[in-house]
Amino acid sequence: MRQMCPYCGKLVDLPDDAAGREVPCPLCAKSFAVPSSYTPSVAEEKPAPPPGLVPPAAATPEATLAGALNDDESAMTFDGRLAGWLAPISLTLTLVSALFFSWCVSYPGGYRVFSQSPIQALFASFDQNQISSMQEMQKSIIAVISWNWLMLPFLLALIVVTVLAWLDRFYPKPTILSLPAPIFWMVKFHTMRHTILIALTSFCLVLCLVQIVRGFGLESAIRTIATQAHAGDREKADNAMKSQVVDIAVGQEIGKWCLGGTLARNLAVIFLIVALESLIVRWWLEYRGPLPPPRLVLQY
């Protein structure tokens, strides 16, 4: 250590153990007191809080990461895993409904007489209850029923998007080494998979809704038969009042067959909507990247 001698006024080198003692100056031989050594430190002083202020409790790291909630709040986290399973399951249920269940039925008197599924609508066929009094009506329907061509792209697109959704579920990060040889093409289209799935699901939903609005083959056939039954009255109607009477008669003729959609058809539409929303949510979560999953906080 180096100190200045108060007697000769010169800097002298002293041993480190001389701190806090009196030692003679190596030059003038006069003794002087050497100051003690010290370690500098910075004291952190916090200002006192204003009067009446109650400081909040310090949040723990676990609470900070989890997002601490008040007693009057509840939160729902968007889970990408749930969205990943909802889409293929919903599409599969829609496909089962389209292939094996009727979407259009006729219930005159509360009895199921005629019914038609989407695949039957494609080929202009339907199921009928073998009731003798309905044989003539059955022949009339067969004579005028037409095939619903919208069901062809609907069913094809539904099959394709269902298969792709399950492949995306089981191979979320496909590579040449992880994929079987027949589906190597997944690697090439992996970056576009969300766009393809969302587009095909939207296409199926639009076709389904358009066909429901237009009516299936069975519905159109019964409406055609009712219209033909009153064609002569329509020609004789020479004013608006008589035309209304004919319209009412045609509506009554159609109404007696109690046409309507089935629960399977309604569920199919719901499943398609759920699948589409799940695919959009999954794309959004992946688009966010490494950010934590978003949460919906409800306050009550």
Rounded distance, CA 12 to CA 29, Å?
11
What is residue 269's predicted lDDT score, i.e. its pLDDT?
96
Long-range own/partner contacts, residues 188-192 (CB < 8 A, 24 or more apart): none
> Is residue 272 packed enough to be buried (19+ CB in 10 Å), middle (13-18) or exposed (0-12)?
buried
Mean pLDDT in the chain? Answer: 82
Q: Of 28-37, 63-72, 82-91, give the range with the top mean pLDDT.
A: 82-91
Q: What does the alpha-carbon distance between residue 86 and residue 276 come to, in Å, rounded to a whole number?
A: 10
Is the pLDDT assigned to residue 241 strictly greater than 50?
A: yes
106: region left, alpha or beta (phi > 0 left; psi from -120 to 50 alpha): beta
> Which DSSP symbol is given to 128?
E
**In the structure, what pLDDT confidence band is assigned to residue 66 with cuts at 50, 70 and 90?**
very low
**Helices within 3-150 (DSSP H only):** 61-66, 80-100, 118-122, 135-144
CA 166/CA 89 separation, integer angstroms: 8
CA atoms of 291 and 279, how far apart (whole Å): 19
Reported as a single tens digit per residue, the pLDDT across 146-184 is 889 999 999 999 999 999 999 888 887 877 777 777 777
Residue 64 confidence (pLDDT) above 50: no
Is 70 exceeded by the pLDDT of residue 41?
Answer: no
Q: What are phi and psi of 201, to 5 degrees?
A: -65, -40
At 63, the pLDDT band (50, 70, 90 cuts) reads very low
Q: Which of 260, 249, 251 is nearest to 215 (CA)?
A: 260
The packing angle between helices 193-214 and 80-100, to 10°, is: 40
pLDDT in tens, 43-62: 566 666 666 555 555 544 44
Q: State residue 263's pLDDT score.
A: 94
Residue 290, pLDDT above cutoff 80: no
